Amino acid sequence: MNEFSYRETIDWLFAQFPSYQLMGSPAYKPGLENVQKVCASLGNPHHKLKFVHIAGSNGKGSTASMLASFSTENNLKTGLFTSPHLVDFRERIRVDGEMISKDEVVLFCERIKALQLDFEPSFFEISFTMSLVHFLNQDCDICVIETGLGGRLDATNIILPQLSIITGISLEHTNFLGDTIEKIAREKAGIIKEDTPIIIGNRQTETSAIFESIAIDWNSPIHYADDFEIDFDQQFPLLGDYQKKNFKTACLSSLILGQEDYQFDFSLWTNALTNLVKNTGFQGRLQVVSKDPRVIFDVSHNAEGIQKTLDFLSSDRIEGELHVVYGSSADKDFKSIFPELSADFTYYFTEFENERSAKKDELAKWGDEFKLDFTSYENPHQALEAAKKIAKQEDTILVFGSFFLLHDFLK
């Protein structure tokens, strides 16, 4: 297979099956009927695999990667399904950190074409079923699956996991999931399965009663990571205090899985964090990409995630000034995001290539309303270059607001 065949296949995949990553809401197909039909046509690969299922508004990707890395360090062949990708579609589907091959992507899409389905599954449904077939072909011992949107009607919810995890809940995708924390929590709680342990990564007043009620209905033992004490005597290698909460959730997950089916060596958690990038391809979370001045990439994009990122990069964490290159999808809740953007920082608003990008004039309107010091730019590269020209050697430049923004830099 040549490189052109792979690129042709990816173009077909995005064109044939609507992608939420490219199109936004028109591509969203809630419900499990389509993905069940596709899986049935492929021999129901999910019936032959073991899973951990992770939902949440923030932290699910980091938690999934930590747990997958720990499983790999314990010599388990570990499948990891995450979304979206930053540069290459194959980032979504990994086994022990290694991306699915281009040949396999091409062959799977040829297989889908040959099925001549009488309905149009979404891009996400096809991606997920591709991961299941790949994990089965690789004879994975455990598969860590991150939901796309929500939980109850998410395509990934056809699996029957050994353990379910819900990280923090915040307002996101309100046009699909509901306009309150409680409504969103009910959607995420759809991944709770009968007689299956559920871990809640963040105890929240608005959501605890909902999770506990549903867990009782399903006879599912419920555990809160906040109630779990860990003794990690090594220096924590990841930036961001919030990553310690995700780490605690992942640790508790490994403890519960270890009680059930796996003989884990828990001393390998240090290796799991040290080798996180190698084992999972983890990137884009407070990722330092250059120094003098320090440039940090981060994928936080909703109010809660942005708050945690900016809290970490408060004045006592950095020596100089903070310069923020910010771009966002147009469907984000700017009413809750912009109050998190401190007037103490200098902002460089920008658009990115993806059609879902918020226009710089829209960002400028919000910047004016909140009296921020900002300049607007046509594209991310112009914005970052402007920040580098203004920033002093001791300053920090934060580039964040969307996976798509980082895509434009990393591609």
pLDDT at position 344 over 60 = yes
pLDDT at position 22 over 60 = no
Task: DSSP letter for 227, please.
Answer: G
Distance from C-alpha of 195 to C-alpha of 220, rounded to nearest angstrom: 5
Distance from C-alpha of 25 to C-alpha of 172, rounded to nearest angstrom: 13
pLDDT digits (tens, 9 = 90+) for 50-99: 999 999 988 999 999 999 999 999 999 999 999 989 999 999 999 999 99
pLDDT at position 175 over 70 = no
Read off the pLDDT band of 9 (50, 70, 90): very high
Element (H, E) at 93: strand 93-95
Contacts 24+ apart (CB under 8 A), 317-322: 318/294, 318/395, 318/396, 319/394, 320/293, 320/391, 320/392, 320/393, 320/394, 320/395, 320/396, 321/345, 321/346, 321/391, 321/392, 321/395, 321/396, 322/346, 322/395, 322/396, 322/397, 322/398
Distance from C-alpha of 295 to C-alpha of 316, rounded to nearest angstrom: 17
The residues, any chain, with a CB within 8 Å of residue 287's CB and separated by 6 or more, are 296, 297, 298
Any idea where the domains of the chain sit in the sequence?
A: 3-280, 287-410
Coarse DSSP helix, strand, coil percentages of the chain, rounded to the nearest 5 percent: 45, 15, 40
- pLDDT mean across residues, the chain: 90
Distance from C-alpha of 193 to C-alpha of 210, rounded to nearest angstrom: 15
Distance from C-alpha of 88 to C-alpha of 93, rounded to nearest angstrom: 10
Give the pLDDT mean for 291-314: 88
pLDDT at position 407 over 70 = yes
* Residue type present at position 22: L
Residue with tokens 């899409």: 109
Residue with tokens 């409680």: 182
Residue 388: predicted pLDDT: 96
Contact 391, 293 (CB under 8 A): yes
Residue 315: predicted pLDDT: 61
Would you call the peptide bond into 84 cis, given omega within 30 degrees of 0 as the criterion?
Answer: yes
DSSP-based three-state secondary structure for 69: helix
Q: Strand 142-146's sheet: what is its strand order?
A: 98-99, 93-95, 78-81, 142-146, 51-55, 163-166, 198-200, 222-224
pLDDT at position 177 over 70 = no
Give the pLDDT mean for 205-223: 95
- Residue 271 corresponds to which tokens in the numbers above? 């290796």
Closest CA to 157 of 118, 189, 111, 184: 189
Fold: same for 3-280 and 287-410: no
- Residue 336 corresponds to which tokens in the numbers above? 């809750």
* Top-level class of domain 287-410: alpha beta
Percentage of the chain lying above the pLDDT 70 cut:
93
**Count of beta carbons in the 10 Å neighbourhood of residue 195:** 8
Q: Any bridge partners for residue 51, and if so which?
A: 143
Q: What pTM was computed for the model? A: 0.87
pLDDT at position 27 over 50 = no
Would you call the peptide bond into 293 cis, given omega within 30 degrees of 0 as the criterion?
Answer: yes
Distance from C-alpha of 148 to C-alpha of 275, rounded to nearest angstrom: 25
Residue 117: predicted pLDDT: 87
pLDDT digits (tens, 9 = 90+) for 132-160: 999 999 999 999 999 987 788 899 999 99
Contact 131, 79 (CB under 8 A): yes
Read off the pLDDT band of 23 (50, 70, 90): very low
pLDDT digits (tens, 9 = 90+) for 233-251: 678 888 888 899 999 999 9
pLDDT at position 19 over 60 = no
pLDDT at position 292 over 90 = no
CATH no., domain 3-280: 3.40.1190.10
Residue 3: predicted pLDDT: 67
